Structure 1
């Protein structure tokens, strides 16, 4: 069959790709969204049952769809997020081809791209002028090489496969990693009465509320989420750090690993190796806890400075003080002796763009882009962490990022067609139909 021709193809039907589709559709630009499963499926398929957002509900902003529920300072549960996204999808009709995977994307010798698709109707080929890759920054879950050397009697899951304590066999659980997922899963198991062992990484933490408001609301007021990546303090090193751990569960609270230790949770440093039932840890626990608390207090100090500079009336400042110190640094653990029957890996994800044949990636396999636009004409990305700001990849920044990509595409397809006056704040806030292209 001859290749199907479509001006723009968006690969990925999550909230980022669909946001670009929303703008392209409003502009009357023909396009297609290709999704390997179903739209926004990751929210129901890859979050545990007691998952909640860690950012306040008022951060939830998508094109034409802003959270307007009764609890803007609260934190939606997984099911509430799924319902909120479903209500957004009822407001427009994106052109979607679901259960279809792009197995190859290559740049054509002239202009444009060729996409090879695999779906229920067999392989197909698409040709397009513009591509938006919205498959997420890090789709492949990481497990360490030695995981396959552990005792096969021990159940192993990645954090995206965990849903509830009941799915695990009886016995203690080892959670590896203390990013947002690892700490919240450890808490979920702890609250369910399971004995939890936790390998602590180098993730920082943040207070849930400070001086009368949510910390993320203070940070938003301070412009932290709007600062372009190139201007962000600390540069690349700051951007590479794991996100701060905190929870929105039960209305939101701090996650204090030291307090968990006083309640019976077993803490260790970095997990560096293992075989059969024996694991080895680096003696990094004290340093990791101290560093996380230092970040916590540093953020509070930054908020103090903002409050003083703006003359804001707020409750008095405070600092976190340790409630527990490790008596020693355990470096070995026998899973069988500790009664550990399950291991949950929560050590992150890695990029996988091997299916894209284009010179748009650095040595680590990450896209080289500026606000989602690469040096390869017509190849764009959306939904990446730090694509433009710290808010990129979050609900708070997706609308702005998607709108920018849609503008770039519209100008590329017809440089004379863009109508800047049509892209006004009122149209974005109300979700009214607007024009990117003149005369439409």
Structure 2
């Protein structure tokens, strides 16, 4: 670990998660002096923002960090929390990045041909900067939470660990994305009464026609499609499909949960007088999720037919349950609700970046991690380049490309660098 700051670095990496560490790996291979600033600890989110029953939703074989591919005995399984932490910890030790932990970056600005980075450990200049802080910096909780009755426990998914941490009583989970659905299942399996507030999150089958859907999609080439393809630009804002790797992997079907006693609602619109209010769009939300589910399976059907693959027969999903009526308000006290879990996502924190690299929505404008400001790069964003850009699958490939480009930038502006090895 780095003990003291130099005045100048050829590169500064902001963020010590999987993206920042991947960048450091390739920077070290080129001998580019650099420092990594991490406001918490390396791999903080994996260590401190995952619940006890957390597991991967993609097969272990998709864990492809740089020079650190999964080499365990169950490539088609799904690592549980302890196994993921061990995998990440081995990567952290292998990279041995020059990282300053507990160090926040408070400003980034351009001064002449250099960049000035002010951090809680001091100020440095750099020839280049890689922003690897992801879109998940700050847990987002709607302001409606301020109007919930006193005495109701409120936590974000980042702070949820297990059902036992919540007071006795019913729980309402707001948000049906990947984390929300898995936590709702965790509570449901523990015998808690769960109320689930849905949104427009899509869903995906776990297994179809004899194989994991992820394996089929890899064969089809879905993980190689780039954001540059027609109609793909909007993908960067898409919600992840919900499914799970728990207990060997299975679908998450909210309709099945409803048959088992889970209460479902449309999108939340607010809180008033002890009641949570909803849009009458539950059926639309469920139908939309199933439409994506069946669409993915139809894509696999076409692939099997075109390639003449011998596989078990498949069929479209048929809804197991339909809402009889749309509930638009819920009396929290009457339903015995004592806890609310906000599965409402995160917001990025780019407040320290004083550079013109953002679009009108505050999202970095970039092409495969390269921004419009020469020498400034971003890494680790969902759909930075492909479906796997924000995950173990492809973050290393993105980091390799970014560092390759960064090296060429340094070569043009300062002393030459040795060529990066292919890989």
Asked if these proteins are the same fold (TM beyond 0.5), I'd say: yes
* Aligned position for 1:26: 29
2:219 maps to which of 218, 221, 228: 221
Which one of the candidate residues 271, 277, 291 is aligned to 2:268?
Answer: 271
- State whether structure 2 residue 342 is matched by structure 1 residue 364: no
Q: Give the conservation status (yes or no) of the 8 Å contact 2:21–2:95.
A: no
Q: Match of 2:151?
A: 153
Does 2:5 align with 1:7? no
Deviation, 1:276, is: 4.4
The size of the alignment, in residue pairs, is: 417
Distance 1:3 1:42 in 2: 28
- Evaluate the alpha carbon distance shift between residue 2 and residue 295 of structure 1 in structure 2; reply closer, same or farther with a 3 A threshold: closer
Structure 2 matches for 1:172-187, cutoff 5 A? Answer: 172-187=170-185
Match of 1:84 among 54, 69, 87: 87
User: Which of 252, 257, 270 is matched with 1:255 structurally?
Assistant: 252
Partner of 2:102: 99
Taking the aligned partners of 1:411 and 1:359, their CA distance within structure 2 comes to 22
Give the match for residue 118 of structure 1.
120
Cα offset for 1:370? 0.6
- Distance apart, 1:418 and its partner CA: 5.4
Q: Secondary structure at the match of 1:173?
A: strand
Q: Distance in 2 between matches of 1:239 and 1:288?
A: 20
Contact 1:48 / 1:163 at 8 angstroms: preserved in 2? yes
Aligned to 1:438: none
Residues 407 and 418, structure 1, Cα contact 8 Å, conserved in 2: no
Matches within 5 A, 1:329-408: 329-408=326-405
| RMSD, matched Cα | 1.5
CA distance in 1, matches of 2:397, 2:22: 9
**Structure 2: any 5+ residue segments left out of the alignment?**
none
State how far apart, in whole Å, the 2-side matches of 1:125 and 1:83 are: 34
For residue 338 of structure 1, give the secondary structure of its aligned residue in structure 2. coil
**Cα shift readout 1:171-194 (whole Å, capped 9, x = no counterpart):** 000000100000000000000110
For residues 94 and 388 of structure 2, what CA distance do their matches in structure 1 show?
24
Q: Name the CA shift for 1:238/1:65 in 2 (closer, same or farther; >3 Å).
A: closer
Aligned to 1:166: 164
Distance in 1 (CA, whole Å) between partners of 2:6 and 2:96 is 25
The structural deviation recorded for 1:9 is: 0.6
Can you give the 5+ residue segments of structure 1 that lack an aligned partner in the other structure?
429-440
| TM-score between the two structures when normalised by the length of structure 2 | 0.96
Tell me the TM-score normalized by structure 1: 0.92
